[in-house]
Amino acid sequence: MYRLLKNILTLSLLVLLAINISASSSPQKYDLLIKNGKVINGTGNPWFYADIGIQAGKITAIGDLSKAKAEKTINAENLIVCPGFIDMHTHCDSELGDPRCQANLNYLAQGVTTVVTGNCGESVSIDVLNTKQKWEKQGIGTNVVYLVGHGSIRRKVMGNAPRKATPEEIEKMKSLARKAMEEGAWGMSTGLEYIPGRFADTEEVIDLIQIVAEYQGIHSSHIRNEAGRIIEAIKEIIRISEETGVRSNISHLKVTGKNNWGLMKKAVHIITDARSRGIYITADQYPYIYSEPIGLLSAFVEIPKNMQPLSKLRAQIYKNQWQEKAREKALAVYHRELIKTLKDKEKYNKIKQLTLKGPPGNPSAVAMWGWHDFTILVAPKNKHLEGKNFIDIARELDRDMFDILVNLIIDEPDILYGGGSQSEQDHNYALAQSWVMVSSDGSALPVIKESAKPVRGHPREFGSQTKVLRKYVREKKLLSLEDAIRKMTSLPASVLQMKKRGMLLQGYVADLVIFDPETVRDNSTYSDSFKYPSGVEYAIIDGKISIKKGEYKGALYGKVLLLN
């Protein structure tokens, strides 16, 4: 009997072995097969050669699939295959509902397959499910992670009232926050430097973030100060995280203003110390040392609302932001009227005081950050000023900076300046930290034609991820390629606690990007900001090809992802 049982068992094992050998040797068929690529899986581990088989939107096989068949095949020889990039900080929600911007191509072309939006305390809506339904019915080009804005909720309950919330108002805000979280928001953003967020005390924020913590969401914060008081602003976020247990992320970590350069090391030390104590704090950062650049003519000089027709003409400039001819015409009329107005000494002084101080309860840019926060970026007619900080210009000319600006506006009305001036040393020190992610702080923009005229603006909306791969990996070698990809994939996925996303592993969602590590680069500049990057060959969302051989044909495969 024993011998019979032994023979039966041996025969059974041989049969099972034969079945396994047959299954492994028979060709498998996939929806999409990516062959011969260098795989970087997003964990930070070194690259390896492998083929990738995709079925029903999932990665189902990684390895030698040379005998496999597929409906579609991509030859990724000499290319990097990695998870699609997740941009941790965007403002795409304000434009995604516009059919001109629905493709979100300026992100997709960089290999970004998911954007986190609703940041800095402002979300286009606090109604998550209706927003999801609207966008998906219309179609969107990238996936979206949606945060609900604290400022949007506060404004719904109490407008822009410059005061603390009452207990009754806080309860109303908590109810709205709970509804958003139940509908699938990934958390709440705060904009504590902006109206109305700046009017909320820490206790109000804690009360609302406790709701977010109940749903295991995140708190992403534009902190109260990114300049001279950055340390106390970071300590406030640490306190909020410590008291609520929420995962907190500091948005676009930076130290602005030339007088404050060098504070980044102390900021990093405080965050690192909090992390060592078990407090969950991370940060994201865009790879540029200036924040949003603005034309001196159209924005920097403040105009009293009752000073007509200037105030009305200025509003028309913003109304026509994407209508090139109409905007140019409005700027020309505004410029002529501004020059005429500035010749009136009384009006000149009113404009100067408003620019230096701002209206009551809403300090101007100069009042909040000081002249040392701003730098001339593009000035073809005054080339010698490009790259110079405002305080340095004032010292060199030994004149009042406002008077200098007025003369520049008259002489070169389309001059471009950048706020949020940082030092390269501070910026690079932060980027090198293991807990800092890559972001853009940009918006969804219309699809740009190759023949379009150059547009002055911030290059980050078309170049953040690809700039990191070019400048900080290939050229400066500040980051390894594997770590740079980790900062754009598994790290944000981990912070968000996304399931089956952010890494190239079997069973994970097939959101992928394929690029040439030798040629990938950003092409956008401050003087020509609407320029798509190079070297991104394929962008794949949910197993479907959105960009093929560097070309976009109108695919709208994105979804609004929900926390629940």
Nearest of 404, 351, 401 to residue 373 by alpha carbon: 401
Which of 384, 418, 452 is the C-terminal boundary of a domain? Answer: 418
End-to-end alpha carbon distance in the chain: 57
Between the alpha carbon of residue 168 and those of residues 199, 244, 354, 395, the distances in Å are 16, 21, 35, 52
pLDDT over 70 at 322, yes or no: no
What are 189's strand-pairing partners?
Answer: 149, 220
Residues 306 and 179 in one domain: no
Domain that holds residue 13: 2-82
Residues 412 and 455 in one domain: no
Residues 316 and 407 in one domain: yes
Residues 100 and 47 in one domain: no
The kind and range of the H/E element at 219 are strand 218-222
pTM attached to this predicted model? 0.91
Residues 37 and 61 in one domain: yes
Residues 195 and 122 in one domain: yes
| Residues 401, 385: Cα–Cα separation, whole Å | 13
Residues 426 and 412 in one domain: no
Q: What percent of the chain has pLDDT over 90?
A: 80
User: Domain holding 52: CATH number?
Assistant: 2.30.40.10
Total number of domains in the chain: 3
Per-residue pLDDT tens for 150-160? 999 999 999 99
Residues 130 and 236 in one domain: yes
Per-residue pLDDT tens for 223-255? 999 999 999 999 999 999 999 999 999 999 999
pLDDT tier at 23, thresholds 50, 70, 90: very low
Per-residue pLDDT tens for 50-98? 999 999 999 999 999 999 999 999 999 999 999 999 999 999 999 999 9
pLDDT over 90 at 302, yes or no: no
Nearest of 220, 210, 160 to residue 190 by alpha carbon: 220
| Residues 466, 227: Cα–Cα separation, whole Å | 27
pLDDT over 50 at 8, yes or no: no
| Residues 31, 70: Cα–Cα separation, whole Å | 5
Least confident of 123-127, 269-273, 344-348: 344-348
**Highest-confidence range of 26-30, 93-97, 300-304, 411-415, by mean pLDDT?**
93-97
pLDDT over 70 at 15, yes or no: no
Helix, strand, coil content of the chain in percent (nearest 5): 40, 20, 40
Contact 107, 67 (CB under 8 A): no
Q: What are phi and psi of 423, to 5 degrees?
A: -95, 150
User: Domain holding 459: CATH number?
Assistant: 3.20.20.140
Residues 299 and 221 in one domain: no
pLDDT over 90 at 106, yes or no: yes
Residues 113 and 195 in one domain: yes
Which of 51, 82, 113 is the C-terminal boundary of a domain? Answer: 82
Q: What are phi and psi of 452, to 5 degrees?
A: -65, 145
Residues 94 and 14 in one domain: no
Residues 314 and 276 in one domain: no
List, as one string, the DSSP characters of 190-247.
EETTSTTGGGS-HHHHHHHHHHHHHTT-EEEEE-S-SSTTHHHHHHHHHHHHHHH--E
Contact 373, 340 (CB under 8 A): no
Which of 49, 82, 115 is the C-terminal boundary of a domain? Answer: 82
